[in-house]
Structure 1
Amino acid sequence: MDYENRFVKVSVDRGLAVVTLDRPPANAVSLEVYDEIRRTFHRLGEDPAMRVAVLTGAGKVFCGGNDVNDFVDLEFDRATEYLAHVRLTFNALYDCPIPVVGAINGAAVGTGIVLASLCDIRIASERAVFALPEIDVGVLGGSRHVMRLAGQGMTRWMMYTGRRVRADEALRARIVDEVVPPEEVMPRAMAIAEEIASKSPPAIRLAKLGLNRTEDMNMKEGYEFECTLTAAVRRTPEAREGAMAFLEKRQPSYAAR
């Protein structure tokens, strides 16, 4: 499958994709980059060989936010069209059928913190910082996505002030799931991705579908939907292989990656 992008680099090995934002110096996101991110995650999800992805940034920055040059002369009509691209990109990452592990290697501000929040699991460098600075450049940001993790108080504080949040604060606010030394970010993210990739591929995809769909359901509705997915996964040969491997005290053998 073709991943020939200018700024979003993709490498694939045995069903594990590493997606790297690579637009020096700060991996700022322009309209072109949004479209490349959207196409990349659509293609990853459509490829049945894909099991998991790791999203990171090249250099010392995860993502420095939007390219502010795009906003200087952005009028209402063009802003509406521009933001449609943004929404579609964010939806593509959230809805990607395979899990996405965020390797937050540095600053994740504006669009960067939103991209991080849309990952399924987030591993952050001790040097990472997080912010919603849009209030200072005449736009509003992706606070609704951040609010899924951080809750109302921290999100409003960040949104109203543009303040930067250190990695340890982000961990306490549940914006990230784990904080590690800078040199351990990618190894840790890759280890988690490898663990996910070792599981039943159809079960993992159905698990992500269930987690996304039930996020806004009440408990009874959510569990009812999960039960339909359990029935669906039981139709797969991987389900029987997993059960047999457990009974036989061995590692399951799924289709080759």
Structure 2
Amino acid sequence: MGIVSERTESHIQVVTVDYPPVNALPVRGWFELAEAVTRAGQDPDVHVVVLRAAGRGFNAGVDIKEIQRSAGYEALVGANRGCHAAFGAVYDCAVPVVAAVHGFCLGGGVGLVGNADVVVAADDATFGVPEVERGALGAATHLARLVPQHLMRALYFTARTVTAAELHEFGSVYRVVPRAELDEAAVDVARDIAAKDPRVIRAAKEALNGIDTQHVHRSYRFEQGFTFELNLLGASDEARQAFLDGKATG
């Protein structure tokens, strides 16, 4: 359980998130993920990283139970900083990151996928940012990289999800495949990238980030400021507890 990083074949590093039951990451998990992705990109023998997950879904965001158990704001600040580190590690990774998404991809999962370079998804994958129902804000920065502006706003305000097939129509999901074929499809894309001259690919990653129209680090931190404000007002704590109480009785 945790973050597993392994070289599955020449020049391809596979980073797997495994935090059962739903891959809702604790503070430590976000930082471990950031470290694994960064370390992979720093290895000159790695040409591409595949980011995947074990279990029922790709990612369910932060561990709300951990935040509710914590006195004060230590866990909240840790989750904010951990998410910022993990999302940033994917975006800043020196080599391309291919995200392999199955099942649910929520909140922090969208943060990871939105900052990935290529997204391959299973046909059961759904994407959403339920933050407004949890008393938080965040990952609109990354959702906006997956869908057009007005759809992003509609998804954000309603907290509804969008399917992999819908994202494929926008071009943000590169391929949609049956669940059983997901890992191989993601590695197949990775092989294509890994076969290129790594000097050129690393330069291309840096160049593409350099011409990006959106400053993802600053934009996401701006969103997080409102999350902390909502916590000071008490709105976030009430929403998180209502969510947990609903899960317990639902």
Question: How many Å separate the matches in 1 of 2:2 and 2:187?
Answer: 21
**Runs of 5+ unmatched residues, structure 1:** 1-5, 218-257
1:6-21 to 2 correspondences below 5 Å: 7-12=2-7, 13-21=9-17
Question: How many Å separate the matches in 2 of 1:185 and 1:191?
Answer: 10
Question: How many Å separate the matches in 1 of 2:186 and 2:133?
Answer: 32
1:83 aligns with 2:76: no
CA deviations over 1:15-35 (Å, ceiling 9, x no partner):
211111011111111101101
Letter in structure 1 aligned against 2:59: C
CA deviations over 1:141-176 (Å, ceiling 9, x no partner):
211111123121121111111102122222234442
Q: With CA pairs under 8 Å and 6+ residues apart, which has the higher RCO, 1 or 2? A: 2
Structure 1 outlier segments of 4+, above 6 Å: none
Which of the numbers 120, 137, 140 marks the counterpart of 1:140? Answer: 137
Cα gap change, 1:104 to 1:17, in 2 (>3 Å): same
Matched with 2:180 is: 183
Moved more, 137-146 or 78-87: 78-87
Which of the numbers 52, 59, 64 marks the counterpart of 2:55? Answer: 59
Q: So what's the TM-score if we normalise by structure 2?
A: 0.79
CA deviations over 1:222-252 (Å, ceiling 9, x no partner):
xxxxxxxxxxxxxxxxxxxxxxxxxxxxxxx
Q: Cα RMSD (Å) of the superposition? A: 1.8
Which of the numbers 193, 196, 210 marks the counterpart of 2:193? Answer: 196
**Runs of 5+ unmatched residues, structure 2:** 215-250
- Aligned residue pairs total 212
Identity %: 33
**Does the Cα contact within 8 Å between 1:146 and 1:175 map onto a contact in 2?**
no
1:23 aligns with 2:19: yes
Matched with 2:41 is: 45
Question: How many Å separate the matches in 2 of 1:157 and 1:146?
Answer: 11
Where 2:121 maps in the other structure, the secondary structure is strand
Which protein shows a greater Rg? 1
Matched with 2:246 is: none
Where 1:53 maps in the other structure, the secondary structure is strand
Q: So what's the TM-score if we normalise by structure 1?
A: 0.77
